[in-house]
Amino acid sequence: MYKGVRSLRGIGRMGGGYMMTPMRILIVEDERLVGFDLRRRLSRIGHAVVGITASGEEAIDHAQRLQPDLVLMDVRLRGPMDGIEAAQHIWAQFQIPVIFMSGYTSVETLEHIWRTVPAGYLSKPFFEDQLRLALERVLETRQRRLNPPERHHP
């Protein structure tokens, strides 16, 4: 199933497939029920949700205080700061990767998102397998940064 996946902390065999070792994830979502559903889904696939918040300012504060492995960030949030601006601050200050989530997929929104070089993007609504794959990609990217391929010198 996910045989080529390697996580930051390793992978383990579970139920006939491969499963990542848990990540600590901060959810930034202004719709309370969506946030709770996302927490349930993340828990079901083996990850720990360290917090749920609804504003960009709180997201930055939570990221600093909780130091999650990853932030799942809605693009549109309560308050003056949107998710894109909050993600830029979180990456610049703490180097915590961000996966954006949005139901708004206009070309302008997508261009704004991709200029931030996010760890990923999920178009709402999304399936649990899409979420799992996005998380695995983050772990693969981290693994490559931590363990670059060896260069053979002649």
Q: What is the largest CA-CA distance in the chain?
A: 58
72 pLDDT more than 80: yes
Q: Name the burial class of residue 8, with classes exposed (0-12), middle (13-18) and buried (19+) by CB atoms within 10 angstroms of its CB.
A: middle
126 CB-near residues (< 8 Å, 6+ apart): 101
Torsion over CA: 11, 99, 33, 55 (sign): positive
Query: Tens digits of per-residue pLDDT, 26-51?
Result: 999 999 999 999 999 999 999 999 99
Query: Tens digits of per-residue pLDDT, 50-66?
Result: 999 999 999 999 999 99
For 131, list phi and psi in degrees, rounded to 5. Answer: -65, -45
pLDDT at residue number 149? 67
Q: All domains of the chain, ordered by start, with CATH?
A: 22-138 (3.40.50.2300)
Q: What is the mean pLDDT of residues 117-144?
A: 89
